[in-house]
Structure formats: C-alpha cells, structure tokens
A and B are shown apart, each in its own frame.
Chain A
C-alpha cells in the first residue's frame, strides 16, 4: 500500500509496520495466525473486523509483543520484534494500546495513571509529565476529572482516560483492541468521537472493532479476518458495498443485517 503524491504517482515509503509470513500457534495445534502478510504505511488508519476467534486481537497484540509469533518476520518502525528485550522496550515506547477492559490502574488517580510511564520509563520530570498529561486530558475532553480515581468515572470516561494515557507516550502507532465493546450504548459515541478526532490528526491507527460506522467515517482500509487469515482487504466504500468473498458477505450480513 503506498501513498499518493499530489502529482499522481505513487511514492513508495517504508511501511511503519510490516508482517512477513507471520505465523502463530497456541500450543501445538491451534494455528491462530496463518501466513499473515500485511504492510501498514505511516499515517494509515486501518480497521480490522471478523468473527470472534479469527485472530484479530492476536494480530495487533503481536505488534507490541504482548503476544509472541513463532514464524515469520514482524518489523515495527524499523525494529524487528524478536526475543531481544531492548528492542521490545524501544517498540513499546512508540506504540500505544487501548484495551477493551480499559485496564486503568485503580489505585492511582487519573493524572497519576497518565504520568506513570513518562516519569518512570522516559524519565521525564514530574512537572513536565503533568503538563503533558493535562494536555492529553484536554484533548479527550476530560481534564476536569484529573484528580478523580478511575472507578469513580463512567465507562466512557474511563476509556477516554485510557486513550489519553496511551497518547502520553507520544506514540507513532495507536492500537485499539475493541475499545467500545465493553461500554454501554450511550457511551460508545463519546469514545468514537475522540477516536475520529485522533484519526483526523494523522496518527497511524489499527483498530479492531465492530463499529462499522466508524470504519466508514475514518478508515483508509478495512481488513476482514477469519480463522487466522486475512480474507479480504479493501477501502471501506468498496468493502461494504461490494464484498468480494463469500465469508465477508456472510459476516457483513450478520452485523449489518438489523
């Protein structure tokens, strides 16, 4: 996938993420990622969808090494992910992740949640870390809750804090693992609005989600996975109006049916 330049020709730019025949197994027999070939360009926004168990969460968790792949090459921001601890730490400084269950630290205030990594990993002085944190909190429109504890906030507010926490690392890539699946319906919009704003500011994004409206609004590419493989990838307009593969058609009919 390459960017288009204003003159109309394609400019090949080094992809920021590249999967090269990546395979992963759980145990001996559960082949969860099969021969994944994928490149993500800088600034690209990708939505990954598929039935449960298709390996989509596993795919993005491999990017920041929360899961290990057994075969193939995975290169993130020029660093190959292998058993090298230093390489993994470097990658994690540049990749932010937002989880389905928020995973905020309940014993720390919102502000402390955000300044934890900058202070202890990037060794930024406290004052500066707090300024940056307030900036991110303002960006997700939750600055007034800075001194509260996570469990005192609603689900939608907690997820926005989680997004701000990931942004405090000033990452080059943002990963979202079903960020709205655990939310009550009336809170989904506030989180999606934040994600759309983020997307429009040019950050590279990979998002596993069932929110197809979000995909239509923002994604450059939609990837459909089933049983560990990438079945189809296309731009949203073509994917939703004219799915090429029978499995994709089947899946779309189920989630867009009602």
Chain B
C-alpha cells in the first residue's frame, strides 16, 4: 500500500548538504549586493560632485541636432526620444535588409563549398576565409572608403539608365504612389490567396490520386498574374520619380546614402562568411546513409533533397543561423564609426551633449537586450517544436 512522502527533516548542521547550499547562496548574494551598493554609492557621489544630473527627463527636451538620414521627418527641434526612435528605426532598417541579403549570399556560398566544381569550391572557400579573418570594423571602413573616395563625384556619377551611383550614394527611380497602386496591392493579395488555394488543391489531389501537379511554379505564376491584373485594372500607373542630374546633386528619385550602403554591404559580406559555414555544416551533418537509403528507395535527386536532406539539415542550421542574425544586429552598432545614424550613434551624440552617460548607455543596452531575448525566445520555441523526437 502506498504511503505519503514523509516530511523532510530540516537539519541545521554544517554537515547537511542542504544547509551548506543555503549558506553559500546567502554569502554569494551578500557579496553581490555589497558590490552593487558600493558601485552605486560611488556613482551617486561622483555625479553629485561633478554636477551631472541623472534621470530620463532629458528625453523630453529638445535634441538640438539634425540626423543625417531617417525614414520619417526629424529636425533639431524635436525631442530626444524621437531622435532615439529614428536611431532605432535606422538600426532595424539595416539589420532586417542585412539579414535577408546575408541569408541569400551565405546559403549560396555555403552550398558552393560543397559543389562538384573545384573552381566554385575554391572560390567559396577563399571568400569564407578572407571575410572571416578580417575585423568587421576594418571591413566597414574599407567599404565606406570605397564609397566616398573611389566613386565619382555626384556631378560625374556613373549612370545606368535611370540609376545613378556616386559619392552621394545610390539614386534610383521610385514609383510615385498613385491610387492605382492600391489595386496593385489588392491584386498581390488576391494572387497570394489564389496561389495558396492552388497549392492546397494540388496537394489534396496528389494524396488522393498520386498525380503530381506543379507545387511551386504554378502558385508563383498565380501570384504574379494577380499582381499584374491588379496593376492593369488600377490604370497601369507607371509614373516614377526619376532622379535627374541637378547642378550639384542628383534630385528626385529614391536615394540610399553611402553610409547606409557601406554598413549594409559590409555587414552582409562579413556575416555571409559565417552563415556559409553554418549552412555547410548543416548539410554535412546529414549522414550519407540517409542519402543512400533515399536512392535505394528510388527517389530522384530533387526529391531526395526536398524530402530527406533539407528537413534534417534545416534543424541543424536554424539555431546557429539565428545566432548569426543576432551578431549582425549587434555589429550594426559599429555604424557609429562611419557616421550612419543608428541607435548607438544617436546615443553617442546625446551622451556628449547632455552628459547623461548612464541613461544613454542603458537605453542602448536595453534596445539590444530586448532584440536578443526576443530572438532567443523565438528560437527556443522553434527548437522545441521541430526537434527530432527521441526516446
């Protein structure tokens, strides 16, 4: 007959493991609290002596400085918190685009390292070794130098059709938002639904009858068709804001500053070298036996890749890949060395102007910490869902 668990005997002697554990923890806690108190009291004393004010109230005072580029309007009469917001948006802008570009380039280089062609293997290997072993700051400085010194001046910009490349950055024609574009977007959404619907129907048909219908090209065609029809119905708006060579600068059109381009390209190329290694390791982690079993079952190389190799490789690739994404985001902080106004850059200016070192640095750390923790949480959730189930 089962009985209830007897209550734990609490012992207070030094020989009890539980008691020792409590003592150690109390000691450690005490030491840390003491150190924290020591640092904090010194800080407060020093700040009082030097007349540095503390508190986050400076965020609502006027910034007094302009920001080189931002996605929305900002001038020097705005508040500090708005300046920080501009910095945050700039950081996210370069991080998100950088992540997309680095994934594409990194995957291509990683797969290239396993190519049959020895030339491709050698070139991809050289790429990885070169970009991995040189500090990212140096790479950013070199890209910036290329953009500001090697490219021609704006009045002699390289031109390809309506695209201009010069010291002033990249100028490109951007579509002028017209009513017709709303219908284009609507067409895109409808095309998306149609594509998704087709895929479901084709999958069903396959499971029922075994006949394979196009699962990729047809949906893609439907997506594009939907967008095209929407665009045509909306009056086929083709008006573009075309950049034209002004006397001193290129006017109109969309523009990407050399700072943004230098940071984007530098971060992308550097991180792609690491992503390539992650992808390569992931593909190589799938044992040869899996490939042999797939071949023995008669699967074609494409089916083998899609149904057997890729699902297993992705499980190995995703965790370190997310790590690289985080590294890219953190490395974007180096934009301060080039003058791209990301959140660290703005914090640096604010810090120098207001002297509120603790607050500004705390804001920067908070921004990056929340990004890291959010990404880690997302990755842990993915891992628990996708993990290969074992005993």
Q: Are B299 and A119 in contact (CB under 8 A)?
A: no
Closest Cβ of chain A: how far from B84's Cβ, in Å?
Answer: 44
Interface membership of A79, Cβ < 8 A:
no
Interface membership of A89, Cβ < 8 A:
yes
Chain A residues engaging chain B, CB cutoff 8 angstroms: 64, 66, 89, 92-93, 95-97, 99, 101, 103-107, 116-117, 119-127, 149, 151-152, 165-166, 169
Q: Are A152 and B389 in contact (CB under 8 A)?
A: yes
Of A101, A125, A151, the contact of B210 (CB 8 Å cutoff) = A125
Q: Are B388 and A121 in contact (CB under 8 A)?
A: no
> Are A151 and B307 CB-contacts (below 8 A) given A99-B292, A121-B297, A127-B208?
no
- 22 pairs of residues in contact across A and B, judged by CB atoms under 8 Å: A64-B296, A66-B295, A89-B300, A92-B297, A92-B298, A93-B298, A97-B296, A99-B292, A101-B287, A103-B293, A107-B312, A119-B206, A121-B297, A121-B300, A121-B303, A123-B212, A125-B208, A149-B388, A151-B388, A152-B389, A165-B297, A166-B296
- Per-residue CB contact flags for chain B residues 200-235 toward chain A (1 = under 8 Å, else 0) read 000000111111100000000000000000000000
Q: Are B303 and A103 in contact (CB under 8 A)?
A: no
Closest Cβ of chain B: how far from A171's Cβ, in Å?
Answer: 10
Residue of B nearest to A105 (CB): B308
> Are A125 and B209 CB-contacts (below 8 A) given A107-B312, A151-B390?
yes
Interface membership of B245, Cβ < 8 A:
no
Complex A-B, nearest 5 residue pairs according to Cβ-Cβ distance, in ascending order: A103-B293, A123-B210, A126-B207, A117-B297, A103-B289
Interface class of chain B by DSSP: helix
Residue of A nearest to B204 (CB): A126
**A123: B residues at CB distance < 8 A:** 210-212
Of A66, A93, A149, A166, the contact of B292 (CB 8 Å cutoff) = A66
**A96: B residues at CB distance < 8 A:** 296
Interface membership of B311, Cβ < 8 A:
yes
A120-B307, A149-B388 given; name 4 further pairs at CB < 8 Å.
Answer: A95-B296, A105-B290, A123-B210, A151-B391
Interface membership of B315, Cβ < 8 A:
yes
**A107: B residues at CB distance < 8 A:** 311-312, 315, 388
